[in-house]
Amino acid sequence: MNAPLQNSASGPASGDRPLLTLLIAAPRGFCAGVDRAIEIVERSLERYGAPVYVRHEIVHNQYVVDGLKAKGAIFVEELDEVPNGAPVVFSAHGVPKSVPAEAQRRGLDYLDATCPLVSKVHRQAERQMEAGRHILFIGHRGHPEVIGTMGQVPEGEMTLVETMEDVAALPFGPDDALSYLTQTTLSVDDTAAILDALREKYPQIVGPKAEDICYATSNRQAAVKEIAPGSDLVLVIGSPNSSNSVRLVEVARKCGTDARLIQRADDIDPAWLEGVGTLGLTAGASAPEKLVREVVDRLSLWREVEEHTLISAVEKMVFKLPRQLTE
């Protein structure tokens, strides 16, 4: 069933600007975990005053990071860059257990902005290890969430699986106690294929009762599937290091539609619009709505834009802030 249409603005083509039908995905942009992480930094600045240190990008979006820098946040890669006693925030992607342990040793006042859905995966990893099962973790090597999750258990207790080829190469046998977990920002379809392969190879494998891929990731991918088939081109607003944004590009392309990842309106080449009558537009979970409107405004300079919002889901999720900021 097609998602409901909601007209945002419309008007006939006029002058030298031909009509561009714009299909805007909903939901798009900020998720509850990103909202929470940004609010944690902002409230920390209010409570402690500038500067507040943030380990790694709080979320993967340069516009957001630059805005927080302007308010007094200082972004660092490791805790040894944080002065003793200074407040520090851990990013939404999660951190290995060694990081808060080091913060405690250093006497740093830290706040954990890890998305609660990522924290849930961390707890699952601990439970599976305690049950004596080796964990097969489906994710992308080097991503901060993967580093954080693999750092929840001792080295050797978890094996990273990225591809179907990785599944084929796994050395475990039918008598080995195995479990699986997944990164929260993966492609729903690709992950399903890998899980099917794991279950076929290891019928004894166990996993979480609910899907680890977060609701926002799933919803944004489903929304792209609504706009892509009717579009000549899909633009995804997001950063190249944003896993969920890159997955949105992949989803659109798998629908048979050309798709491009952009960070800001300035990234759009007007030549891309040649032969494009209908354009799909969405934003990754760490891209603010302001950047969506910026893109629409830029498109309106070149074409007469007729907007339609395709609503495939309504999100009402809200996550609580850390106790330090609410007491």
pLDDT digits (tens, 9 = 90+) for 196-241: 999 999 999 999 877 788 999 999 999 999 999 999 999 999 999 9
Around 319, how many Cα atoms within 13 Å sit in the side-chain half-sphere? 25
Is the pTM for the entire model greater than 0.85? yes
Q: Please, what is the Cα angle at 312 between 306 and 318, to 5 degrees?
A: 115
Peptide bond into 27 cis (omega under 30): yes
Tokens 């599976």 correspond to what residue? Answer: 128
pLDDT of residue 1: 42
295-308: per-residue pLDDT in tens? Answer: 999 999 999 999 99
pLDDT of residue 209: 79
pLDDT at 34 over 50: yes
Mean pLDDT of 162-191: 96
CA pair distance 40, 112, nearest whole angstrom? 9
pLDDT at 75 over 90: yes
Determine the straight-line distance between the first and last CA of the chain, rounded to whole angstroms.
46
Q: Please, what is the Cα angle at 5 between 244 and 258, to 5 degrees?
A: 45
- Structure-derived torsion over alpha carbons of residues 62, 67, 71, 77, reported in degrees to the nearest 10: -10
pLDDT of residue 17: 84
Query: Across the beta sheet with 158-161, what order do the strands follow?
Result: 158-161, 134-138, 178-182
Nearest by Cα to 309 from 219, 218, 226: 226
Check: CB of residue 126 under 8 Å from CB of residue 157.
no
Question: What are the C-alpha distances in Å from 6 to residues 132, 236, 282, 309?
Answer: 51, 20, 15, 5
pLDDT at 85 over 90: no
pLDDT at 16 over 90: no
Of 145, 226, 304, 307, which residue is the catalytic one? 145
Which domains, from first to last, does the chain contain?
5-30+214-311 (3.40.1010.20), 32-112 (3.40.50.11270), 117-213 (3.40.1010.20)
CA pair distance 153, 131, nearest whole angstrom? 13
pLDDT at 10 over 50: no
**If DSSP codes are grouped into helix, strand and coil, which group holds residue 265?**
helix
270-320: per-residue pLDDT in tens? Answer: 999 999 999 999 999 999 999 999 999 999 999 999 999 999 999 999 999
pLDDT of residue 210: 72
Nearest by Cα to 10 from 311, 307, 296, 310: 307
Q: Is 145 considered catalytic here? A: yes
CA pair distance 69, 89, nearest whole angstrom? 13
